[in-house]
Amino acid sequence: MSQRLRIDGETAIFPIIGHPIGQVKSPTSLSQIMAERGYNGMVVPMHVLPADLPDWLEQAGKVRNCPGIVVTVPHKGPCLDFCARVTARARAAEAVNIMIRDHRGDWIGDATDGQGHMDGVRAEGFDVSGKSALLVGTGGAGAAIAYEILARGASELALHDIDTARRDALVTRLDAAFPGRVRIGDTDPRGFALVANATPLGMREGDPLPVRTELLTPDQFVSDVVTRPAIPPLIAQARARGCATMPGSAMFEAQAVLLAELLMGSRKIALD
């Protein structure tokens, strides 16, 4: 049975910041998880322009009942610079999507998109350990997913992005942490056990597909970060070819619990 949200003078406020912000779905689910666990807190969407981010973060640091911040586009990269310490995966991604205040008042940053994505994949019965993977998209979320794929034991990861400079920079960073297991890929999914999309392709009608879906085979697992539509075109095409799949909604659900636990303090950010 769900618990009612409590709001009083002791309520912890967790902003989720972005530009735009109208698309975010997490405030309700994160706040509900807190209520169900008896935690007096709520997640509130805040529309912050990039030019206003430094001033906003300075003011947020002075709000004593704001122990954490959730970060979405386009602030994931810039917020990294406001953190006193970050995790290895956040450094590899050069982005954070959550900031937690420590006992000294400093912000500690992490990038949980990769954990959420791969937890969702694992919940669908696929284990990437010892297998090859193709990932399309190397932005903030893609970089975090790439790190997590390798951290969970993938034998090889191929990266593709139309932004070749961003792709090559991520290959260099990941190769330093996981030598010999990262290379440049393309839109051909043949030979990969896991095919993952970390781009927004599929959100808008008429978007091109991120990979050549006509080359998919039933033994492959296909995952996507796109949450709207509920069944993105990539996932629909993969299912039509007999592939096991994970749409973005499953990643969202897996990550919601992780984010809520980090915000509430029942799970700690693991620094090096």
pLDDT digits (tens, 9 = 90+) for 205-241: 999 999 999 999 999 999 999 988 999 999 999 999 9
First-residue to last-residue Cα distance in the chain: 39
Query: What CATH number does residue 181 fall under?
Result: 3.40.50.720
**pLDDT for res 3:** 65
As annotated, the active-site residues are 76
- Residues 133 and 192 both lie in one domain: yes
Q: Is residue 61 part of a domain?
A: yes
In 110-213, alpha helices (H): 113-123, 140-151, 164-177
In this structure, what DSSP letter does residue 188 have?
-
Q: Is residue 68 part of a domain?
A: yes
For the cut 90, the answer to whether the pLDDT of residue 272 exceeds it is: no
Give the confidence band of 14 by pLDDT, cuts at 50, 70, 90.
Answer: very high
Q: Is residue 54 part of a domain?
A: yes
Domain count, the chain: 2
**Nearest of 167, 219, 271, 87 to residue 157 by alpha carbon:** 167
- Residues 213 and 257 both lie in one domain: no
Tokens of 213: 């879906």
- Residues 134 and 224 both lie in one domain: yes
Contact, 215 vs 243, CB < 8 A? no
How distant, in Å, are the alpha carbons of 135, 222, 234, 237, 245 from that of 240? 20, 12, 10, 5, 11
- Residues 90 and 127 both lie in one domain: no
Contact, 27 vs 16, CB < 8 A? yes
3-class secondary structure, 9: coil
pLDDT digits (tens, 9 = 90+) for 91-125: 989 999 999 999 999 999 999 999 999 999 999 99
- Residues 219 and 127 both lie in one domain: yes
Work out whether the CA dihedral 196, 152, 78, 164 comes out positive or negative.
negative
Contact, 150 vs 182, CB < 8 A? yes
**pLDDT for res 227:** 87
Q: Is residue 118 part of a domain?
A: yes
Quickly tell me which residue has 């009942």 as its tokens: 65
- Render the burial of 160-195: b for 16+ CB within 10 Å, e for the rest: bbeeeebbeebbebbeeebeebbeebeeebeebbbb
pTM of the model: 0.89
- Residues 120 and 247 both lie in one domain: yes
For the cut 80, the answer to whether the pLDDT of residue 49 exceeds it is: yes
- Residues 94 and 141 both lie in one domain: no
Q: Residue 182: phi, psi to the nearest 5?
A: -125, 140
Q: Is residue 33 part of a domain?
A: yes
- Residues 152 and 237 both lie in one domain: yes
Element (H, E) at 96: none
**pLDDT for res 1:** 41
pLDDT digits (tens, 9 = 90+) for 120-167: 999 999 999 999 999 999 998 899 999 999 999 999 999 999 999 999
**pLDDT for res 136:** 98
Tokens of 222: 């296909």
- Residues 101 and 141 both lie in one domain: no
Query: What CATH number does residue 35 fall under?
Result: 3.40.50.10860
- Residues 95 and 120 both lie in one domain: no
- Residues 105 and 212 both lie in one domain: no
- Residues 125 and 157 both lie in one domain: yes
Owning domain of residue 68: 12-112+252-264
Contact, 197 vs 211, CB < 8 A? yes
